[in-house]
Amino acid sequence: MEQAWDAIVVGGGPAGLSAALLLGRARRRVLLCDSGEHRNDRAVAMHGFLTRDGIPPGELRRLAREELRAYTGVRVADCRVVEARREESGFVVMLEGEAAPLRSRRLLLATGMVDELPDLPGLNAIWGRTAWHCPYCDGYERRDQPLAVHGEGRLGVKMALEVRSWSHDLVLCTGGSPIDGKDRRRLRELSIGLREERLVALEQEDGELRALRFADGGVLPRRGLFLAAPQRQRCELAERLGCSRTRKGMIRAGHDGGTEVPGLYVAGDTSPHVQLAIVAAAQGSMAAFALNAELLRDDLQAERRPMPA
């Protein structure tokens, strides 16, 4: 593998692929590293992506990789980045299983987030099919059907208020976490049911949710479940390099993905923006544009330097 790159992009989802595409069109030498772990791996389809509404996530990635083959400066490596450090000329990056380090003038992290799912028997069988984390992505297909939201406290209430746009047959399950009086009144006004007993199992058939089972023995028939689950960064590289997080746990970055670490950019769900695949792709392009503008300035300055006598 070549030892020096204009940019290394870490993450092979919509953000990383979009960044690599734009940088390839700018005639940059780009290495895209994809660990093979993606937040939407279990999803049946992606939605809200213009011209690709309903496409399986893996198919979108396959098509994007095919497009990248047209750009001779872009290489895709199925590997995990295990370490990165900043140096004067850019970044030194280590890949899992590789002894020799790679050097890159700029680094773009598009590693995404991980949903911290509750330990619910039956959830694994339906996750991505009839249980999800985003109503904008999957609510339309279950519109007007009996739905449930599972989440603690204010996080669960907020999700329930969102999901009500897709169905008025809705129940919020809090697992016993406290709900204040104002939120209780709001739920009651909107006819959103409230179940505070602990949820102990999800009854399913062939990946289709059928009912929720509670600790008191009660069973509630439902056709879809949205989880208001906490998230964490999939990768710690940004923090190791010196980035700080926002209050919500995202990497602190500007609108173009630039971070407080010179030459380091972030894009996609890992950054503080709306978490949609099409938004992640746009962020990848924005970060790549800003990154390339920096490289252009560096190149022009280098050309202006007088040659040594």
Question: Rounded mean pLDDT of the chain?
Answer: 94
Compute the average pLDDT of residues 152-168: 96
- Domain-by-domain residue ranges, the chain? 4-114+231-304, 117-227
Q: Tell me the per-residue pLDDT of 252-285, one tens digit each, with 9 for 90 and over.
A: 999 999 999 999 999 998 877 789 999 999 999 9
Q: Identical fold at 4-114+231-304 and 117-227?
A: yes
At residue 161 the predicted structure's pLDDT band, cuts being 50, 70 and 90, is very high
112 phi/psi in degrees, rounded to 5: 75, -170
Dihedral (CA of 34, 35, 36, 38) sign:
negative
Which CATH superfamily, name and number, covers 4-114+231-304?
Answer: FAD/NAD(P)-binding domain (3.50.50.60)
Q: Does domain 117-227 have CATH number 3.40.50.10800?
A: no
Q: What is the pLDDT of residue 3?
A: 64
Compute the average pLDDT of residues 186-199: 96
Residue 110 sits at the vertex; the CA angle it makes with 269 and 267, to the nearest 5 degrees, is 60
